[in-house]
Amino acid sequence: MTTKSKGDGRFIRTPENARQDARAAELRAEGLSYQQIADELDLGNKGSAHRAVRRALRDIAEKPAQAVRDLELRRLDAMYEAVMEVLERRHVTVSHGKVIVDDGGEPLLDDSPVLQAVDRLLKIQARRAALLGLDAETKVNLSGGVTYEIVAVDPEALK
């Protein structure tokens, strides 16, 4: 049996058990029962065979998903770079097609594109964090209770 545990009951993924899981899925596709797979691969019981097949199927689905994630991350990187260029540029205030200058004749800087770029960077970072699963789940604690009060009811009328 090639199942390995960290000692706390958690499964450790190794190349050897990945191959065994793939073989379990192949045997299942050939029509073997989970007990037959367990016997064939010395997995101990049909539950272990079932888990091996599930892991193999998850691995099959995970590879294309990772490729899509990688593509999306590359796109986000390109967007990030483009927005950084906007952020680092010098922006001047323009009104009616003319550059607005201060009392000293210097162009008046426009912070609006910078602030918009910062907002866009935050959105890109949030998308990246979501894609990579970096954000912790938010736990909501709903405590308290509901109190009901019955007013002006004659208990004899309820009988």
pLDDT averaged over 10-residue windows placed end to end, the chain, 159 residues: 54 84 91 92 92 88 82 95 95 94 94 95 94 76 66 67
What tokens were used for 25?
């899925």
How far apart, in Å, do the first and last CA atoms of the chain sit?
68
What 44-52 contacts at long range (C-beta under 8 Å, 24+ apart), as own/partner pairs, is 44/1, 48/1, 48/3, 49/24, 52/17, 52/20, 52/21, 52/24, 52/25
Determine the Cα–Cα distance for residues 105 and 98; give it in Å rounded to an integer. Answer: 13
What is the structure's pLDDT at 47? 93
Determine the Cα–Cα distance for residues 23 and 55; give it in Å rounded to an integer. Answer: 11
Can you give the residue ranges of every domain in the chain?
15-132
What is the structure's pLDDT at 2? 45
**In the chain, what are the helix, strand and coil shares in percent, each to the nearest 5?**
55, 5, 35
In sign, the C-alpha dihedral spanning 51, 45, 9, 138 is positive
Q: Which helix (H) or strand (E) holds 104?
A: none
What tokens were used for 124?
């890109």
What 118-124 contacts at long range (C-beta under 8 Å, 24+ apart), as own/partner pairs, is 118/87, 120/79, 120/83, 121/80, 121/83, 121/84, 121/87, 124/76, 124/79, 124/80, 124/83
